[in-house]
A and B are shown apart, each in its own frame.
Chain A
């Protein structure tokens, strides 16, 4: 298969590379962009561990090809941290609620939560469940994740007022 040249903006950084057409966006992000925060869980679009923001929308990077991201903007979990490396409000809320154990699904959870809070700053329980309903966590039983998202929403609202 002939390689194709692509240019993808990831967390604000333009990455130009040559990839085989069948390379998944997940593999591109991990192996070419060096952003290993995005995780492979099922590779068939069920678990949500590989979620990234693609043109403003959360998607499964295991089920999108890298070439489809040509000239597009992608944000990964690494993009949630501040430029100085410190963690942001959403990440800190996950820490304060201890919304994780092994941490493997958490990048996907954070990305899904980020997308929720961008579009809905005051989500109710149903909104939160819908936002993370496609992300499987095997450690927490979700309760502390829900609490973290509520906490983040409260803090973001507070920060704006």
Chain B
């Protein structure tokens, strides 16, 4: 089976980052007098999957864009791979972003380009040889099980398929850090599970560092309590009701961090707001 062979041939890359991958230090940002994020500080270690939870409008998407340097904070500093993205000029950020993959909330596929051109975008910009581009595009689409859609336009795809193509586009360059902004937002439960399985596959096979924004608690806890089985090509609960040790949580409310810790700490929290949010 080609997919098994593909994954078996690619050894899981070990993170070569010795320090934290993402560091937010007292970051605040406001839009038109509305404080969106206030005094946000947290760290993401290499190989860790940090799930960002919170009610709608609490600043989760803004946090993702700050991490990628798409927005600049009003105060505080953001370090990604040891470099201060909050102060870097855009030209230098382009180079850093080669190590970061981002999946946007509404996919953000280029609708005038085919799926192939969307996934190959970064490689075309880098003037990679066309046969290598084609090979990597097909590998990436095979990863998200959409190889047959290679010549379709985004308008011909369903919402779930667009989201999968967006993931393929984000992972085709084998980034060390992946930012998922609500990858299951607006999707039905079955399609959401498919997307979460892909996120899990990326985590367990390639051991990337990831920030996953979601407002769906079931997706968050699925990520924390399941693992991807390479042999059977599906996710399975971690044996003995285990928890993935590299999956941690960050909960935001009204622009502030209300929880930063492990799955077990979150589940056993005494905070009344958190208890109500999780119930």
Partners in one complex: no
Task: Give the A-binding residues of B (Cβ under 8 A).
Answer: none
Task: Give the B-binding residues of A (Cβ under 8 A).
Answer: none
